[in-house]
Chains A and B, each alone.
Chain A
Amino acid sequence: MSEERGVHPCPQSLERFMRAEALVPEHRQVLRHLLSGCPSCRQSTGPLWAPEICAAPTPAEAPSEEEYETAISRVFSRVLMRDSELAGERDQAPQLLTELLRHPVGRQKMIVRNSRRFRSRGLCELLVATSHARSSEAPRSARQMAELAVVIGDALEAAEDDLSMLEDLRARAWGALGNGRRITSDLRGAEQAFRTAEIHLAAGTGDVLQRARLLDLKASLRIDQRRHDEALRLHDRVIAVYRRQGERHLLGRVLIKKAKVHAEAGHPELAVELVGQAMGLIDPSEEPRLGLVVRHNLIDHLSACGRHREAWSLLISARHLYLQFGDRPTLSRLRWLEGKIAAGLGRLTLAESAFQEARRGFVEEGIGYDAALVSLDLAAVYARSGDAARMRQLASEMLPIFQSRDVHREAIAALIVFQEAAQAELASLGLVREVASFLERNRHSSKQRFEPSSVCRPAGA
């Protein structure tokens, strides 16, 4: 061993040692020599010590430019082949989906389990995308799509090279299911789905954007669970990823969501600040609706801050965007916002007519929850103007509508408290606001029960 101490290893041997590729005797020989502190060998190994490696001169065995060229060409041809296979699968996916949806819901899972034809990556991707697209307007359908995506994802097989990519897809499918369960009020099921998604993600490619998307969905679950601090922490992680990756549009998107958390937690001024930042990041050409959403939310948050005049002037300049979309729910949201600002400015007659119109729009479109919320805003106008008769009439009209729509049990119970108070002419502005705030907070969750505070509790309740 003393001999080894003095003998300089050859450059190749030093490099193999540094790459941890040397066999045991060679490894020991080099190590023994380096232990003696040989300055010239340390000069050779130094540049190979990462992370300083980046600034290093070319070592003995560094590949040449031509070798890299050849390797890159080989990879390109393999990847292009896979791309064209995948293109075929993706082309067939819409047709497979149409075929699948013709069957009753109960049979769909059985079909994808038993028929090889439906075990397609393209179909799984399409189901995940459709599930997210339907999440706001058709929660049940979004959940069903995600359930099918999970079944297909679990049934897919992959070559060894593609395994980590398949795990990413499974993570996305389980993430969509987590989201689908969340929006159908199954928060515990959502939690489990996200846990499974994380397991798949850990076995995946380690892509940071996939992780960020999953964290973003999980943040929405935390909001529904009323765990706002955790939601904000998750948003911050997502923001850091998007910022690092230069994903400006996605960054703007998550800032809008974070702003909503602050607004719900009673900090509309923070929300205004964040939405202001988001406005400079959103690219409306990528997602035209988001261009409208960001303005709508900014105006809403400004109004919640009491900055009604500012909100009003912004609304006037943004009105053309609402009209561009022109669908009934969007126009109802415009009227709702106009009503809120008018109420804030004390123009109660204008607010009343705006709320009535918005309410009618939501009821006719079957958007029960927003109809309930706008009804409570209308009730607040009646409470302020002391119009007990109209309040009573509104309350009596409300329940039958909401009982027939997708409004959960605890929300109905809160509305009954309001209705009884209104019938007895005891519905104060405070109670109306409490019921409205309860409904806002528990849009996707039926776990909490409405308890009016003693100040607002109607006598006998």
Chain B
Amino acid sequence: MSAVDHPQVASSFEDFLVRIRPRLKSLFAHYRIPIQDTEDLLQQALLALVYQWKTVRDPEAWILGTLRNKCLLYWRERCRRLVESVDTAVLEWMAQPERPRQENDDLRYDLENLLARLPPRCRSILVLRYRYGYDPQEVAARLGYQRSSISKVTNRCLAALTRELVASSSPARRKKERS
């Protein structure tokens, strides 16, 4: 890169920022990313663009695509953390036998209700996990899953459980999951 052509790059980068601003705002609003995280995601993506400004042919498509990806990953990570925290809390409750009987019965009743709304495959896995305290490898041996795939299957079932807990799934989706 020569000294002559760099100012052009800099000014075109500034123009680019002006042009892209409204679309960035609506993208973050669309994905409803909190402000602090918006700054982190945007700064990371823009710096990456600055470093490869010369090689990215369509900067607008690049930044929007990258940020869309980052926003989805952001929520996926949030989901993962939520799923993990729900699982941990349920496992802890199930491991505390010294609760008053009424509370215990209520909790079991509610959990059974929730599990009953899941597809049969997930129900069997999570019943063994929560009611009998089986770890994934024991669940695999009991239900005939591959040891290598049981973690993935369990994670999907935990995600289904959390989704059922926090969001009413549509009848079509439920039918698809059951099949």
Q: Which residues on A are within 8 Å of B, measured CB to CB?
A: 1-2, 5, 17-20, 27-28, 31-32, 34-37, 39, 42-43, 45-54, 56, 58-59, 61-63, 65, 67-69, 71-72, 74-76, 78-80, 82-84, 86-87, 90-91, 93-94, 121-122, 125-126, 161-162, 164-165, 168-169, 205-210, 244-247, 249-250, 286
Contact = CB atoms under 8 A, between A and B. Distances in A.
B75 A2 contact: no
B43 interface: yes
Contact of B75 (A53, A74, A80): A53
A168 B48 contact: yes
Instruction: Report, nearest first, the 9 A-B pairs whose CB atoms are least far apart.
Output: A50-B75, A46-B167, A20-B81, A45-B166, A35-B110, A49-B167, A79-B46, A75-B42, A1-B103
A246 B162 CA distance: 36
Contact of A52 (B52, B89, B167): B167
Contacts, number: 186
Given A28-B89, A72-B24, A1 B107 contact: yes
Contacts of B75: 50-51, 53
A62 B81 contact: no
A94 B81 contact: no
A47 B167 CA distance: 7
B43 A161 contact: yes
Interface in B1-18: 1-3, 6-7, 9-10, 13-14, 17
Contacts of A54: 30-31
B47 A87 contact: no
B58 A246 contact: yes
Q: Of residues A35, A37, A84, A94, which shows the largest number of chain B Cβ atoms within 10 Å of its Cβ?
A: A35
Given A2-B103, A50-B78, A75-B39, A86 B51 contact: yes
30 contacts: A1-B107, A18-B82, A35-B110, A37-B110, A37-B113, A39-B168, A42-B165, A42-B167, A42-B168, A49-B162, A50-B79, A59-B32, A67-B35, A71-B42, A72-B28, A75-B39, A79-B46, A82-B47, A87-B6, A91-B3, A93-B1, A94-B2, A162-B47, A205-B44, A205-B45, A206-B69, A209-B52, A244-B65, A245-B58, A247-B58
A282 B139 CA distance: 54
B6 to A, nearest CB: 5
Contact of A246 (B28, B35, B61, B113): B61
B43 A53 contact: no
Given A79-B43, A246-B61, 15 more contacts: A2-B106, A35-B110, A39-B168, A42-B167, A49-B167, A63-B38, A65-B25, A68-B38, A71-B35, A79-B47, A80-B17, A83-B13, A94-B1, A168-B52, A206-B69
A32 B48 CA distance: 43
B29 A49 contact: no
Contacts of B128: none
B86 A31 contact: yes
B66 interface: yes
Contacts of A1: 99, 103, 106-107
A165 B7 CA distance: 22
A47 B163 CA distance: 11
B95 interface: no
B111 interface: yes
B114 A37 contact: yes
A90 B52 CA distance: 12
Interface in B47-86: 47-48, 50-52, 55-58, 61-62, 65-66, 69, 72-73, 75-76, 78-79, 81-82, 85-86
B175 interface: no
A83 B57 CA distance: 18
Nearest to A4: B103
B176 to A, nearest CB: 14
B152 interface: no
Contacts of A45: 166-167
Contact of B72 (A51, A63, A84, A210): A51
A28 B93 CA distance: 10
Contacts of B30: 54
